[in-house]
Chain A
Amino acid sequence: MQKFKVALIGNPNCGKSSLFNQLTGLRQKVGNFHGVTVDKKSGVANLTKDIQVNFIDFPGTYSFYPTSLDERIVVGTFARPDALSDNWEKGQQYDAILYVADITQLEKHLLLFSQIRNLGFPMVLALNMTDVAQEESMIVKPDILKKKFGIPVVEVSGRTGEGIDGLKYALENVLLEKSKVSNNTLTYQFSEEEKKIAHTIQVEFGLESEYQAWLWVQHHEWLPFLTAAQRITIKSIVTEKFDLLKSQVRETMQRYDRFGPIVGQALKKDTSASDTWSDKVDRVVTHWLMGPIIFFGLMILIFQAIFSWAGLPMDLIDAGFGALTEGVSSALPESMFRDLLTDGIIAGLGGVLIFIPQIAILFFLISILEESGYMARAVYLFDNSMRRFGLNGRSIVALVSGGACAIPAIMSTRTISNWKERLITIMVTPLISCSARLPVYAVLVGFVVAADQYWGWFNMQGLVFMGLYLLGIVAALGAGWVFKKIIKTEETSYLMLELPVYRRPLIRNVLLNVYEKTKTFVIEAGKVIFVISILLWFMASYAPGNQMQLAEQQAVSEALELKLDDTERDNLIASKKIEASYAGHLGKFIEPVIRPLGFDWKIGIALITSFAAREVFVGTMATIYSIGSEAEETSVIDRMATEINPDTGELVYNRATSLSLLIFYVFAMQCMSTLAVVKRETKSWKWAAIQFVFMTALAYLGSLLVYQVMS
C-alpha cells in the first residue's frame, strides 16, 4: 500500500470541514501543528485499495497575509523550502494540496489558491457546494479553469457527497504523477524593486522560486523556521524604507485582476435574485432590538435543555461508578491499594466523566449555532458591547461555551486576532458559571432559601440560581473592563467578519465536533483531576506520625460509650480520621484566614480539595460529615443542615455562611485543568498565576463582604 499526505486548504466558510468529514469519517484525530497550539485535524481515507491518504485539515485562511494565529499556519508551512521534500523531519512533508473553494463565491476564494499555485505544488482544485450552485442554477465550466490554472479541477459537494469519487480519482492521478501539472499561470509579476529583493533572497538561501523568497521577505519577522541569522540577513537586504504593506496590496490587486476574468468565463450566475430566504431570516435575527432578544431566548433554551436532558445520563453514570466502587470493594481484600483504587482513582474518573452529558449537549447546541451561521450574527450584534469590556465580538462564543466548561471555551479564543482582546477573554471566561459549579450550587442553595419559598410567581431557589449565573457574567464583564484599563497594546483590533449565508447544519459535522470537543475535555481535564484525586486521597487518608491510629482508637471508644451501631461507628471513625489527616491539618491551618468568611476548618478542607475541581466539594462534605462516600446528595444536605458549631451552638450552615460559600464558588479559580490550559494558550505561567490570584482575591473579598453584612 502506498501512503500519501495531502493538505486540505481553503477560505473560512468554504465547506472544507464537511468535505473533510465526508472523506475521512471517523478516522480522524486532533493534534497540534508543529510548534504552535493550533488544532491540527488529520484523517485517513483510502483513494483505492492500494492508496491511502492522510488528510491534514488546515485552519480556514484568506491569504498568505495572515491576521490571526490560525491563519499563519498555511504560509508558515508552505513557505518552508522543504514543505514537500523528505528532508523536513520524517513524515512531515506534504505530497499534494487539495484546495477547496466555495463555487458560489469562487472569485474571492481563489486569492489564496493563486498564491499557493504560485509556489508550484501539485494541486487539485475542488469546487465545493455544487448542490447550492445547482439550486441557484449556476452554469459552471470547470474545463476553462482546468485549462487556465493547469491543474485538475473537480466539482464536488461536501454536503451530499456528490463528486467525491471524481475528486478521489483526480487526487490519485496527481499523487501518482499521472496528470501533468503544467507550468504556472498565476505567477505574481513583481515590480522592479520587488524582483531585485526577491531574487537576492532566492540566491542567498538557494530557494526554489522567487515567490517563495518573497514570502520570506514579507514574513521574516515571525516565520517560525527562520534562524536569527537568516532574519538579520533578510533585514539587511530589505531596507526600512521599503513598504511591505504597499506591495502586499499590489500583489492582491494584481491577482484579482488576473483570475477575475477567468472566473467570469467559467461561471455564469443569475445575480437578479436579491432577497434570499437567508436575508429574510436576518431581517429578524440581526435586528437591533429583536436580535438580542432572540439571542438571550436561545441561551435560556440551551441551558434549559442541558438541565432537562443531562439529568438522566448523569444519574446513570453516577450509579455506574457507584456500582463499580462497590464491586471493586467487595472483590478485593481491604488494603491500601483497594482504597487508592476506589477512593482515589475510580472517584477521580467518575468526577470527570459525570460532566460528559452536560458538555456534550452544550457543544451539540453550540455547534448547531456555529454550523448554521448564527454565531457570526451573534458576533455582529454584540461586538460593540463586548468592546466596552475589553473583549471582542468573537468572545461571545467563548463566554457561551464557558457555561459548560472553560477548557474548550478558552481554546475557542484562537480566532480572536487581537492579542489583548484574546487574553482578556481567556482571563475572564472562567468566571462564567460552568457545569462543575452546579452540584455545589444545588447543595448550598437550600440553605439560603427554602425550596417552597416564592417571590410572586417565581420560585426563590430558581431566582438565586439565576442570580449566581448573572453574578458570574457581571464579574466576567467587570474584570474585562479592569483588564482593558491595565493591559496596554499598540495592536489594532478588527471586526471585519464574514456573515455567511445560513445553511442547514449537517448532523455529521455537528456530531463529529461534539465528539472531538468532549474528548478534549475528558483528556485535558481528566489528566489533572486524576492526579489531584490521588493526591487528595493520600492527604485525606494519611496523617503525620501515628495520629491516624490514635483518632481511630478514640472514635472506637467513643462509639462504645455512645452505644453506636456498626454503620454509625464506621462513619464516626471516618470523620475522626479525616480530622487527623494531612487534609484536616491543612483545613485547621487555614481556618484563621477563612473564619471572617464564616467558614470552619471542615469547609476549609472542602475548599482545598475543590482547588483541584469544584465538583469534589460534595464528595468531600460526605466524607467529612461521616456519612460514607457513597452518600446521595440529599443525605449530604440533610447532614449539613443539622451541623452545629461547637463554640456558638448555632447552625453552621446558616444563611450568611451558605451564601458566602456560594459567592466563593462563583468567583474562585478552583480548576487546575483550566489553569493548565491557560498556561498552554498564553504560553506562560504568568497569566495563569495572575488569573488564579485575581479570581481568588475576588472570591475572598466577595465572601467577606457578604458574610460580614449578613451576620
Chain B
Amino acid sequence: MRLSELKIGQKRIVESFEDSQMGGKLMTMGMLPGSLIELVRKASAGKTFYIKVNGYGMALRVSEASKIFLKEATVN
C-alpha cells in the first residue's frame, strides 16, 4: 500500500520509493526502507500529513506520501 492510503494511527514499514530523487532526500532525513511509519494526523483537508518516522515527527504532502510504498509491520 501507499503511505497516502494509511489511516490515522496505523503503523507500517517502508518498503520502497517510487521516485528515487524524493527517496534520496527522504533517506538523508532518516526515512529508509525498513523504517517504521505512523500516520499521526492530517491537515488541510487531508492534503498534508503529520507522520512519525521511527518515532520522529515529519511533515509530508499527500503527493509525496503517495510515492512511498509500505508493507505490513509484522515482525520486529
Q: Which residues of A contact B (CB under 8 A)?
A: 62-63, 65, 67, 105, 107-108, 111-112, 245-246, 248-249, 252-253, 256, 271, 279, 282-283, 286-288, 291, 376, 379-385, 393, 492, 494-501
Q: Does B10 contact A (CB under 8 A)?
A: no
A-B pairs, top 5 by smallest CB distance, nearest first, are A108-B30, A499-B57, A384-B44, A62-B28, A63-B28
Q: Note all chain B residues with C-beta closer than 8 A to A248.
A: 24
Tell me if A's interface is mostly helix, strand, loop or mixed.
helix
Complex formed: what's the CA distance from A107 to B29 in Å? 10
Q: Which of B25-73 contact A (CB under 8 A)?
A: 25-30, 32-33, 40-45, 47-48, 50, 55-61, 64
Beyond A245-B20, A380-B48, A494-B22, 11 additional pairs, beta carbon < 8 A:
A62-B29, A108-B30, A252-B27, A253-B33, A288-B41, A288-B45, A376-B59, A383-B47, A495-B48, A496-B26, A499-B58
User: Chain B, interface size: which category?
Assistant: 20 to 34
Interchain CB contact under 8 A, B30 and A494 = no
Complex formed: what's the CA distance from A592 to B48 in Å? 52
Interchain CB contact under 8 A, A245 and B24 = yes
Q: Which of A246, A253, A283, A383 contacts B27 (CB 8 A)?
A: A253
Q: Does B74 contact A (CB under 8 A)?
A: no
Complex formed: what's the CA distance from A379 to B57 in Å? 13
Interchain CB contact under 8 A, A249 and B23 = yes
Given the known interface contacts A62-B28, A496-B29, the answer about A384 and B57 at a Cβ–Cβ threshold of 8 Å is no
Q: Note all chain B residues with C-beta closer than 8 A to A62.
A: 25, 28-29
A sample of 6 inter-chain contacts (CB < 8 A) reads A245-B21, A249-B27, A286-B41, A495-B59, A496-B25, A496-B26
Within the complex, the shortest CB–CB distance from A513 to chain B, in Å, comes to 23
Q: Note all chain B residues with C-beta closer than 8 A to A256.
A: 27, 32
Q: Which of B30, B42, B64 contacts A495 (CB 8 A)?
A: B64
Within the complex, the shortest CB–CB distance from A521 to chain B, in Å, comes to 30
Complex formed: what's the CA distance from A279 to B25 in Å? 25
Q: Note all chain B residues with C-beta closer than 8 A to A105.
A: 30, 56
Complex formed: what's the CA distance from A288 to B28 in Å? 28
User: Who on chain B is nearest to A71 by CB?
Assistant: B28
Complex formed: what's the CA distance from A384 to B48 in Å? 7
User: Who on chain B is nearest to A384 by CB?
Assistant: B44
Given the known interface contacts A108-B30, A252-B27, A380-B48, the answer about A496 and B59 at a Cβ–Cβ threshold of 8 Å is yes
Interchain CB contact under 8 A, A379 and B24 = no
Q: Note all chain B residues with C-beta closer than 8 A to A496.
A: 22, 25-26, 29, 58-60, 64
Given the known interface contacts A249-B20, A252-B24, A288-B42, the answer about A383 and B59 at a Cβ–Cβ threshold of 8 Å is yes
Q: Note all chain B residues with C-beta closer than 8 A to A282.
A: 40, 50, 57
Within the complex, the shortest CB–CB distance from A195 to chain B, in Å, comes to 20
Interchain CB contact under 8 A, A497 and B20 = no
Within the complex, the shortest CB–CB distance from B16 to chain A, in Å, comes to 10
Identify which of B28, B45, B64 gathers the most chain A CB atoms within 10 Å of its CB.
B28
Within the complex, the shortest CB–CB distance from B61 to chain A, in Å, comes to 5
Given the known interface contacts A271-B55, A383-B61, A499-B57, the answer about A249 and B41 at a Cβ–Cβ threshold of 8 Å is no
Complex formed: what's the CA distance from A287 to B8 in Å? 13
User: Who on chain B is nearest to A381 by CB?
Assistant: B43
Complex formed: what's the CA distance from A112 to B29 in Å? 10
Given the known interface contacts A496-B60, A498-B56, the answer about A107 and B30 at a Cβ–Cβ threshold of 8 Å is yes
Q: Note all chain B residues with C-beta closer than 8 A to A288.
A: 41-45
Q: Note all chain A residues with C-beta closer than 8 A to B25.
A: 62, 65, 67, 494, 496
Within the complex, the shortest CB–CB distance from A213 to chain B, in Å, comes to 20
Interchain CB contact under 8 A, B41 and A497 = no
Interchain CB contact under 8 A, A291 and B57 = no
Interchain CB contact under 8 A, A495 and B61 = yes
